[in-house]
Structure 1
Amino acid sequence: MKVEIFIPCYIDQVYPETAFNSIKLLQKAGCEVVYNPAQTCCGEPAYSAGFWDEAKQMGLKFLEDFSEDCYIVTPSASCSGMIKNGYNDLFTNSTAHNRCRNIQGNIFELSDFLVNVLKKDYFGAELVGTAVYHEACSTVGEARLKEEPRQLLSQVGGLELVTVDDEDSSCGFGSSFAFKFAGMSAALSEQRVQSALTAKADYIISTDSGCLMQLQSYIDKHQLPIKTKHLADVLTSGWANI
């Protein structure tokens, strides 16, 4: 199966290894992965900040960079959610309307594509330790994904996934929210990390790199004994020759 991969700007700039691991994971699942180096951003940061004209320009470029007749997979629910939902505000009844609708039907967040399209959840990954899963707001709210990431993590050898009461609490990132409400943002990060530490977790795992960047910054600042990992990095852990 041929798929085009969309690498979000956060992953491109901060977590490039997650991009490579996403490609390796799709290839292991039997996909022919195509990457267009001209791709940039879906426009979500500008859209969320209220700059819809700028977001529309970025969205138009996204629609030009990807095809209408191929699956598009991205390791980010916030980006797939932006394209599936936010683009309705930008392109409904515009000249790009039909192309937008076709691409909206093609794009999938990584765990959604693996479980619901490819019907695969085991990739031979091994990661010894205890982890909590952080439900990114976009994963649940926009992508409507709850069990898919957990199903994939349950197949990782050596990994014990523990449940905490606030696993669906916000990390405090929220794109521009972290800048506009820095104090509240920091408090949310502290609550999320401390909850994972109380559960004696070695890792906080999520599908969204924005959340991981937010939580890891708090961890690094306070030099805490816990790490964050993207789902794609977990699902490729322990592979030989990775």
Structure 2
Amino acid sequence: MNKYKFFLSLVMGLSITPLTSASEKSIELKRGCIKNYPLVRDEIDPELLNIYRQICDRKNKKNIELKNDLSIQAAQRFQAIGKNLKALQWVEELRKQNVQRRELTDVAFLAGIGISQSNLQYMRNNEMRYLNAENTYPAAKKLSDHIQISLPEPDTSNAKVVTASTVRLKQRLKSSTLSNRTVGKANSVSHPQSVNLQSRVIKTSARDTTAAKKLQSNNSITSGSSPFASFNKN
């Protein structure tokens, strides 16, 4: 059983290999295409070769707009795979043909940065030196200043959401405070029946206090008389 599985996987592998080779060979460009576009010579990137195949296709020969789009894609692909000099050559060729696109400016900018980075790394790692104060550092400083000026504006969408939620929270707190004040005022105003009952209690207490004072006064008078008064009567 194991031998059967082994031979089956081997046969499937052998059958897939020719298909893969055939798909890779199908991207091969014609000599005339390579002669007209020498930048693609010795390139093996499948996506890049596929773009060039469409550029060289006779069906697209008269479609200038499509050829320009494909040429821009070729420049972008050169830059993406690190072939920055070829990308800049494509940009220069298209600009000679009066093709002005934002994509070309981006390709030229990114390719220039890539070239600068690779040379700076070579300077630091292989030549063991720094930028000099005469020309290389001022140029790098100037580029850095321009990049700082051209930075995109910060995304304030989250800040707007936070501000809106903060405003809503403040409104809720304000309404809650007003409701608490209203309840406090309502509690501070007594009910009319309770007011009458309270006044009655106060009046009753006043009468009781007056009667107690009178009784105390009579007792003091009685206790202040002479202890021999009863004998004097006799």
Report the TM-score range of the alignment, normalised by the length of the smaller protein.
under 0.3
Higher helix residue share: 2
Higher strand residue share: 1
After TM superposition, the score normalised by the length of structure 1 is 0.23
After TM superposition, the score normalised by the length of structure 2 is 0.23
Q: Which has the larger radius of gyration?
A: 2
